[in-house]
Amino acid sequence: MQFVLVDLPDRVHFYPFSLTRSLTEIRVGIYTIKERWDALLSSESQVFTIPYLQGLYQAPFLEQEDVVLYINATCIPNEAIKKAILNLKEGESLLDEDGKWIASNTKERTIGNILLGDPNAKKTITANFIKSAMHLLQLNATMIQSDFNQVIANGSSLMVDASNRLICPENIFIEPGAVLSGVSLNATEGPIYIGKNALLMEGAAIRGPFVLGEKSVVKMNACIYGATSVGPYCTIGGEIKNSILMGYSNKAHEGYLGDSIIGQWCNIGAGTSNSNVKNTAGPIQIWNQHQKSWDTIGNKMGMLVGDYARFAIQSSINTGSYIGVSSNIYGNGLLPKMIPNFSWGVIKGYVLDKAIEDIQNWKKMKGFQITAAEKEVLTALFHME
């Protein structure tokens, strides 16, 4: 059976992150959406996304006569949903109790027809969905716990030396190859997961729920509060609380990062801090890129930062900021709350070729190269503006 994760039409609620990659790459808890579905299905799923992003992924190769299980990428998987999906007969669709599409078993290839399905062949089940980019922060603690339960059921934690202080060690899992020395890990309020070949330097103090991805680094004397998830190949330091770093990004120096989501291949300069509460303790508004309007979202929110964005040292980031893709950000005082894609300073003006060249330079620092498909995505996005 072939499984195809579909990120339409909900991807518009996940800007700026879904501007440069499929929703299936979005990280919450320990895993990305795709990693979580693949583990549950014990199969490598394919990705169906918007045309200008499809080149990042192997296009689903589907013979017309093949039956395929199409799955809504925003549905949060569990064993009951897995069973219901696998039990679908050809032509049947699975919806939640409010009528939101979850999955279809079909030979259909037109996405509109897949989402509509046969009105006489629909089953229902209770389900939860990831609703938006900001919803990721609300879900992160729960998803860390859920993912952690799967991890401990399938493996044993690495033993660490006596220089480390582990509080509630039964709630801590350390993968092989991780190196820790003189670190404080407190899992009283939530689990702590340390990925393969990660490095935690002396003096780091971490409270769960917390995730550190493969080959990521926590620098000396870092102060990390839950619920925080750090993806692979990140470097973090200073003070961080209730945030998600998708992967390959740096917040390596002193400064505060709170209630924020950072995309891939971002860099936060030394001394940079964001506000997450207004001085009035009043409601916060954040830019809705899809609606081109401001949404009121509560009284605590840091920033959403698109892929390839970089902040100069000592940047002061306003409460509830939306930072576009591939922005080279600097400026005096509090920065604007909305910085568009391809900004130079705080206004649009980053030349495309220069932006791609600079991204390549940053990728080289972690041993990677920008791909032709990534360049095509950036070019398409640049010309959409």
List pLDDT tens digits, range 38-62.
999 999 999 999 999 999 998 665 5
User: Torsion-angle region of residue 239: left (phi > 0), alpha (psi -120 to 50) or beta?
Assistant: beta
Query: Using the 8-state DSSP alphabet, how is residue 260 labeled?
Result: -
pLDDT at site 353: 97
pLDDT at site 61: 59
Determine if the pTM surpasses 0.85: yes
Tens of pLDDT along the chain (385 residues) come to 889 999 988 999 999 999 999 999 999 999 999 999 999 999 999 999 999 999 999 866 555 678 899 999 999 999 999 999 999 999 999 999 999 999 999 988 888 888 887 878 899 999 999 999 999 999 999 999 999 999 999 899 999 999 999 999 999 999 999 999 999 999 999 999 999 999 999 999 999 999 999 999 999 999 999 999 999 999 999 999 999 999 999 999 999 999 999 999 999 999 999 999 999 999 999 999 999 999 999 999 999 999 999 999 999 999 999 999 999 999 999 999 999 999 999 999 999 999 999 999 999 999 999 999 999 999 999 999 7
Can you state the percent helix, strand and coil of the chain, rounding each to 5?
25, 30, 50
**Average pLDDT in the chain:** 95
pLDDT at site 63: 58
CATH architecture, domain defined by 2-131: Alpha-Beta Complex (3.90)
Domain ranges within the chain, ordered by starting residue: 2-131, 134-384
Asked whether the domain spanning 134-384 has the same topology as the one spanning 2-131, the reply is no
Q: What is the pLDDT of residues 296-347, one digit of tens each?
A: 999 999 999 999 999 999 999 999 999 999 999 999 999 999 999 999 999 9
Q: Report residue 298 CA to chain centroid gap.
A: 21
pLDDT at site 175: 97
d(C-alpha 152, C-alpha 186), whole Å: 17
What tokens does 343 get? 């900004």
pLDDT at site 272: 98
Nearby residues of 364 by Cβ (< 8 Å), 6 or more positions away: none
Report the topology of domain 134-384.
Answer: UDP N-Acetylglucosamine Acyltransferase; domain 1 (2.160.10)
Angle at the Cα of 205 from the Cα atoms of 199 and 209, rounded to 5 degrees:
85
d(C-alpha 192, C-alpha 208), whole Å: 5
Per-residue buried b or exposed e for 41-76, using 16+ beta carbons within 10 Å of the residue's own CB? beeebbbbbeebbbbbbeebeeeeeebbbbbbbbbb
d(C-alpha 310, C-alpha 291), whole Å: 25
